[in-house]
A = this chain, B = another copy of it.
């Protein structure tokens, strides 16, 4: 192993220098843009019959980091994740090195218990005083999909066996600004995207809207959003819960983005009523900065609905004659087989920082966003939504000075969506963003 150890040591130095130090240095570029054609040449992608020397492989590692986007850079605002969290990064290295899968306690004892501990703590913050159940998934889209499937299973467990053949037309409601994964779930689950009704939640008269929209159809699921993808807006969960209770609809809250506010005493009111949800999706890899991916799916049910809905009882994994309590084997709660121990990435950083520091970070990010909004209002040339965003974006990428996403919305033309997460972000960085947009776009008016 000594050659391998030497290689690992050298590679670690590269990772620390290039992907940790340099990537977080505000003096460095956010990205070193290359066209696909050019980058293909630079990377020497071809896989050959013979192998390459360790020094060449280290050069490939350097190139991979160099031409990757520095999502930890203080001027990366392009996604709903950002920043480098060293504790979480170390935890993710450990999960890679330990190389295990979360199906049975036997093969992942530590991570099984850590997942359980993290889920319990998250349920506490949601306000489920009597606990519940949950699982970490590869992304929030999967969690939203799980919610739809569980709702359908609770509504009619037979569908698992007999399918939707001869079933009534099942329909779902989601927030007008809800994430597209609800629609993807409807497609995948055989429910159909046309049976997803996107509306402002709750509608002025939900009863009326139910009868008008879905004549002859059976509603079973409502997705409310706590922190929408584009505007970061929060649906009034409490009011929606009233309606769901009245009509026995499953209430899911997609809090992938906004769940972070639950750690803040100042901001948790945004999710008022979330304890009444049947299920919650919450991604610590977004505002709480755990490494990718770290996505929790939580349900209030304590009758093993998750397991009953998804189980297939594979005899080679989930033997019932084991010498330990097999309720610790969580694999059959998942539609995956092999599943990564993502909870550890959140557990270790939570342990290191404590809830109080998580709270400070969320409060700081929201204060920074407020600062930007206020400063923005005072700036000339920023009030118009003109068709310049794609051009400014191109210039921004080619300069490598910062990264911000843009999009259209409704009748509005393209605009920039600012996402503030990273505690390294200073007021100076935000001022820079406005200066840079101004400077990149000033000839376009």
Contacts and interface: CB of A to CB of B under 8 A. Distances in A.
A64 interface: yes
Contact of A161 (B16, B118, B192): B192
Given A47-B118, A61-B348, A162-B192, A141 B90 contact: no
A86 B7 contact: yes
Contacts of A93: 11-12, 15, 93, 96
A163 B72 CA distance: 41
A443 interface: no
Nearest to A408: B315
Interface in A297-325: 310, 312-317, 319, 321-325
The winner among A97, A292, A417 for most chain B CB atoms within 10 A is A97
27 contacts: A1-B21, A8-B16, A12-B16, A15-B94, A19-B97, A23-B97, A39-B110, A47-B347, A48-B355, A51-B356, A60-B351, A68-B98, A89-B97, A107-B403, A138-B336, A139-B336, A140-B338, A141-B336, A163-B169, A163-B190, A163-B192, A165-B167, A180-B312, A188-B335, A189-B189, A293-B338, A322-B393
Contacts of A163: 164, 169-170, 186, 190-192, 194-195
A323 B389 CA distance: 11
Contacts of A189: 188-190
Interface residues of A, number: 158
Given A4-B20, A68-B110, A316-B407, 17 more contacts: A5-B20, A5-B86, A23-B97, A34-B109, A43-B113, A49-B355, A51-B352, A68-B108, A69-B108, A71-B98, A81-B101, A96-B292, A138-B138, A160-B187, A180-B312, A188-B310, A315-B407
